Chain A
């Protein structure tokens, strides 16, 4: 009874109802903030850390990224005649340490984040899928 005598107006709930109604009627609010993902995408920042990319000409295959990777994600493998890193995305932390430590600035991370795949093997990105050629791109 004490509770009802104190709260019989239900002012708190009514206040809440007003706030939610404001949202329904879009008063002072953006109507929707979500995006319809597969059809529209959010803008990524240039620093986004997604799938790796390796500059074909800059990389010297030194293996510093391999040593510094916290999770043992990177292995240096032979590709054609030179040695390049191979990244196992399934284990990758996307921490960016490999980018930081690369002495030739050959490793970078792209904005590609849709990396789901059907097999574990296809998560291993060999040099054939990671390499890019700076001259060709620019």
Chain B
């Protein structure tokens, strides 16, 4: 199992296991279009990923409501499906059925384009995330850089959306989102670089592998124990990146009505909404990958090799949902900060702390190396 690096190889392995890969490959070879088979397999794996992500996102919207409801002594959605589980489907149906309004004074093209520019990176960011052993679309050698780079696209789209709406609230929301994203990507990246110092690789798989195993047989070798400060900084920065309370300035509904998507309705609104939750899932997954050991878990070596992808996927999801739950829990507890306070926090506190953390990491590695 160890040789299977990514989902592409896993699909081929499964097909071979059932003995169908050879004949199929032969057919394509005879036709001389072997590359089509590759494309088909890639499309299948990407399709599975996207379906999985979209289902997760739908589930997350339900979960968000349920967690809020539990905190607030309510039921939350209860009518559609068992305990309201189908509520996201109904919401989707409703949003599709809604009129798609484009304001008269809006910049039509940019207004229409912006939701897509938000939505697509939100899905693309999943490509180098290892959901489990060999459950990764592509183990990019610059995986971490790719993630940070792709996340940096969404503020552009938000600015486009806010500007194109031709609404003052939208514009202010967009400006805030950009200011916030820029000032938080830096501590986020700095905290991630400390991890890279430890692993010596930007590849997410390498990062996860570096965290498998234990110290003294009890404590898992997760980076959270080596980098507690880095973890806290990364978590705060990623909540800010997600744009959730206490850092949800881009929409801050009590100040800016709905921020950059004030003017959006129908399916375009749904795309912002989905992108938000996809982002939540992705960022939580990244937190897990970098600091909580990804899919690795001390019991994993004792699992039969056939089941490792499944079990590791389970481990990864449990950890990710724990982070997501924390984000939701935090959202129900704290009020929103003010934008200038957030920027103060970002530049004056988190960036110096992240640099300090980097220094600590370097020191630790040097000391470690000396032994």
When chains A and B are docked, how far (Å) is the Cα of A108 from the Cα of B349? Answer: 67
Q: Mark B35-79, 1 if CB is under 8 A from A, else 0.
A: 000000000000000000000000000000001011111110011
A115 at interface by CB-CB < 8 Å: no
Q: Are B334 and A34 touching (Cβ within 8 A)?
A: no
Q: Are B73 and A32 touching (Cβ within 8 A)?
A: yes
Q: Mark A20-40, 1 if CB is under 8 A from B, else 0.
A: 110110000111111010000
Q: A23-B71, A23-B73 are in contact. Are A36 and B78 (CB under 8 A)?
A: yes
Chain B residue nearest to A31 (CB atoms) is B73
Q: Which of B144-152, B216-224, B325-333 contacts A (4 or more CB under 8 A)?
A: B325-333
When chains A and B are docked, how far (Å) is the Cα of A20 from the Cα of B328? Answer: 11
Chain B residue nearest to A29 (CB atoms) is B73
B348 at interface by CB-CB < 8 Å: yes
- Min Cβ gap A114→B in Å is 18
Chain A residue nearest to B335 (CB atoms) is A16
- Min Cβ gap B80→A in Å is 13
When chains A and B are docked, how far (Å) is the Cα of A20 from the Cα of B79? Answer: 25
Q: Mark A27-59, 1 if CB is under 8 A from B, else 0.
A: 001111110100000000000000000000000
Q: Are A32 and B75 touching (Cβ within 8 A)?
A: yes
- Min Cβ gap A81→B in Å is 49
- Min Cβ gap B337→A in Å is 11
Q: Are B67 and A24 touching (Cβ within 8 A)?
A: yes
Q: A1-B348, A4-B349 are in contact. Are A16 and B75 (CB under 8 A)?
A: no
- Min Cβ gap B232→A in Å is 10
Contact-size category for B: 10 to 19
Q: Chain A residues with Cβ under 8 A from B79's Cβ?
A: 36
Q: Chain B residues with Cβ under 8 A from A16's Cβ?
A: 333-334
How many A-B residue pairs have C-beta atoms within 8 angstroms? Tell me: 41
- Partner pick for A20 among B74, B75, B78, B329, CB 8 A cutoff: B329
- Min Cβ gap A62→B in Å is 48
- Partner pick for A17 among B72, B74, B329, B349, CB 8 A cutoff: B329
- Min Cβ gap A20→B in Å is 5
Q: Chain A residues with Cβ under 8 A from B329's Cβ?
A: 17, 20-21, 24
A116 at interface by CB-CB < 8 Å: no
When chains A and B are docked, how far (Å) is the Cα of A24 from the Cα of B74? Answer: 10
Residue from A13, A20, A23 with most neighbouring chain B CB atoms (10 Å): A20
- Min Cβ gap A73→B in Å is 36
When chains A and B are docked, how far (Å) is the Cα of A33 from the Cα of B71? Answer: 12
Q: Chain B residues with Cβ under 8 A from A1's Cβ?
A: 348-349
Q: Mark B346-369, 1 if CB is under 8 A from A, else 0.
A: 001100000000000000000000
Q: Are B71 and A20 touching (Cβ within 8 A)?
A: yes
Which of B208-235 touch A at CB < 8 Å? Answer: none
Q: Chain B residues with Cβ under 8 A from A33's Cβ?
A: 73-74
The 10 closest A-B pairs by CB, nearest first: A16-B333, A20-B333, A24-B70, A34-B74, A20-B71, A33-B73, A23-B71, A17-B333, A20-B332, A32-B75
Please name 11 pairs of A and B residues whose Cβ atoms are closer than 8 Å in the assembled complex, sorted by A: A13-B334, A16-B334, A17-B330, A20-B329, A23-B70, A24-B329, A31-B70, A32-B74, A33-B73, A36-B75, A36-B78
Residues on B facing A (Cβ under 8 Å) = 67, 69-75, 78-79, 329-330, 332-334, 348-349
Residues on A facing B (Cβ under 8 Å) = 1, 4, 13, 16-17, 19-21, 23-24, 29-34, 36
Known: A21-B329, A32-B75. 18 other contacts (CB 8 A): A1-B348, A4-B349, A13-B330, A13-B333, A13-B334, A16-B333, A17-B329, A17-B330, A19-B333, A20-B332, A23-B72, A24-B70, A24-B329, A32-B73, A33-B73, A34-B75, A36-B75, A36-B78
